[in-house]
Structure 1
Amino acid sequence: MNEAPQLSVVVPVHNEQDNIAPLVGEITQALRGLIPFEIVYVDDLSNDNSLQVLRDLKATTPELRVIRHVKNSGQSTAVRNGVKAARAPWIATLDGDGQNDPADIPNLLAERAKGDAQTKLFAGWRVNRQDSGSKRWASKWANKIRSNMLKDDTPDTGCGIKLFERDAFLDLPYFDHMHRYLPALMQRAGWKTVSVPVNHRHRTSGVSKYNNLNRALVGVRDLRGVAWLITRSRRTPVEEL
């Protein structure tokens, strides 16, 4: 690609071989002709055929870049490494399982165009979730508890589709599972965030990497940590003399 990208689409994957090609095709369909973009896939040391699928797609998709972890490190690390490798000033993220709809990225860009310079995060809000009943129930209560503790005024922080400024993201404190707390962390840094209704789809292939129990156990510890970060935050405007 000769034109510098204005948007980098970062997609973390672990064992999603059957979901990669359809999702790449949907991303290119949604963005070609709309904005100069690149796609940065981060393979979190998959042990299926994901990496080979990505290598094959590079031959037919000039926007595609692929980086790979040398050890399995989790989704937050994959997102962060993808953002660090990205060349555009703004980032869109998608889960690699195909449940997020790339057709929503133009909607997020449109919301950004209407927003002000202080809004650095446009977070997807799955208003019609297609997960199992138990998963929706667990998520509902997790969101309620999180909202009460963090006061982040965000109905759905677990949605993988987001649009944010690269520099603002890289300035946030990094920890495992931080991708689930981006609205609160952005607000802690002094930025505004907006929730945007987006589509949500059934997983058609592969298996989820999480279950309700491990989400809950990790979530309790993380919530306490993020709440502590918020109480310890200090933001001081500066002026140059």
Structure 2
Amino acid sequence: MSKEYKHQKMTVTIEPANLSIILPCLNEAQSLQPVLSQLKTHYPDAEIIVVDDGSTDESAEITAQAGAKVVRHPYSKGNGAAIKSGVRAAKGDYLVFMDADGQHDPKDIERLLAELAQGYDMIVGARGAKSQASFGRFCANSFYNWFAGWMVGHPIADLTSGFRAVRADKFKEFLYLLPNAFSYPTTITMAFFRAGYSVAYIPIVAHTRIGQSHIKLLRDGIRFLLIIFKIGTLYAPLKLFGAFSVGFFSLGLGYYTYTYTMGGRFTNMGVLLFITSVLIFLFGLVSEQITQLLYSRKE
């Protein structure tokens, strides 16, 4: 089955060899059968790849029985590692990533692909407040979205969504950057924005997952934040260091104003804060130059 998505001057034809649907999987035997059944119904000719990340249940057997392609890890390497294995095995020019736990509706794939046909390089299914697993996770995701959007200079509706459609050639450019853990959506989103690729979001409803979540809020939340800082220092170091520099300069100015008003003097602490501000700015400036050299060499 082939489908055409048309938008003004641009037409994207999705033939069976052009679409690969990748599902990372870790002990999802309860949900795999209905998910794969729906995918086969809506996209019978698409390449469906389930990456079994060291499951100890019947996930691999269920996948094989459903007629999908199985890529197996001998042990659990992480969600990001499963995504990378799936991409390396995929033959399609367009890739769709979705969870194997029943949260994502296969019917929404057509909406992602239709939007991709408008000239975008990646379309992300953005979850609303009602689709968040808990209030704590909603607050954490809201902060991640704001912080990452500030870093890349573009609004980000859902930084951590695992439901997205991308052009394979663009995605593979950043495959080496993806971490092996649960933060591949964070890295690929920020990388696409920094590279100047077009990213758009469409609202989706994420259903309650079948089975137990493998994400730990505190552990993986800290990991997501570290990934944002890592990508920020890699792609926009001056923006990150500049913010800290302004912060220390403001502290120094405030402290100097206080000591001068109260005692008519300029203390060593004030000097230290000003010097720290200058040093942090210089670190950011040097890092920015190194980043530009790396990009120039790559181009």
What residue is the counterpart of 2:255 in the other structure?
Answer: none
Shift of 1:235: 5.8
Which stretch has the larger CA shift, 189-198 or 141-150?
141-150
The question of 1:168 aligning with 2:173 is answered no
Q: Give the aligned residue type for 1:208.
A: S
Q: Which structure is richer in relative contact order (CA contacts within 8 A, separation 6 or more)?
A: 1
What residue is the counterpart of 2:149 in the other structure?
Answer: 147
- State the alpha-carbon separation in 2 of the partners of residues 223 and 237 from structure 1: 22
1:120-199 equivalences under 5 Å are: 120-127=121-128, 128-172=130-174, 173-176=176-179, 177-199=183-205
1:95-106 equivalences under 5 Å are: 95-106=99-110
What residue is the counterpart of 1:225 in the other structure?
Answer: 230
Shift of 1:146: 2.4
- State the alpha-carbon separation in 2 of the partners of residues 69 and 214 from structure 1: 23
Shift of 1:224: 1.1
- State the alpha-carbon separation in 2 of the partners of residues 52 and 69 from structure 1: 14
- State the alpha-carbon separation in 2 of the partners of residues 95 and 210 from structure 1: 13
- State the alpha-carbon separation in 1 of the partners of residues 296 and 38 from structure 2: 40
Choose between structure 1 and 2: higher helix proportion: 2
Which stretch has the larger CA shift, 124-133 or 20-29?
124-133
Is the contact made by 1:31 and 1:106 (CA closer than 8 Å) also made in structure 2? no
Aligned residue pair count: 225
Structure 2 residue ranges without an equivalent (≥5): 2-14, 237-290
- Superposed CA offset, 1:199-218 (max 9, x none): 21111x21101121012210
- Superposed CA offset, 1:74-103 (max 9, x none): 111111110110111000000111111111
What residue is the counterpart of 1:206 in the other structure?
Answer: 211
Which stretch has the larger CA shift, 129-138 or 101-110?
129-138
- State the alpha-carbon separation in 2 of the partners of residues 138 and 188 from structure 1: 23
TM-aligned CA distance change 1:208 to 1:237, over 3 Å = closer
Shift of 1:148: 2.5
Give me the identity figure in percent.
26
What residue is the counterpart of 1:61 in the other structure?
Answer: none
Q: Give the aligned residue type for 1:78.
A: A
Rg (Cα) greater in structure: 2
TM-score, length basis structure 1: 0.86
What residue is the counterpart of 1:44 in the other structure?
Answer: 53
Which stretch has the larger CA shift, 185-194 or 161-170?
185-194
Shift of 1:5: 1.7
Q: Give the aligned residue type for 1:145.
A: F
TM-score, length basis structure 2: 0.70
1:86-97 equivalences under 5 Å are: 86-97=90-101
What residue is the counterpart of 1:85 in the other structure?
Answer: 89
TM-aligned CA distance change 1:182 to 1:100, over 3 Å = same
Q: Give the aligned residue type for 1:68.
A: R
Q: Give the aligned residue type for 2:99.
A: D
- State the alpha-carbon separation in 1 of the partners of residues 154 and 83 from structure 2: 21
- State the alpha-carbon separation in 2 of the partners of residues 158 and 207 from structure 1: 18
Is the contact made by 1:190 and 1:235 (CA closer than 8 Å) also made in structure 2? no
- Superposed CA offset, 1:121-169 (max 9, x none): 1111112415222222222222222222333421102111100011111
- Superposed CA offset, 1:177-213 (max 9, x none): 333232211122231111111221111x211011210
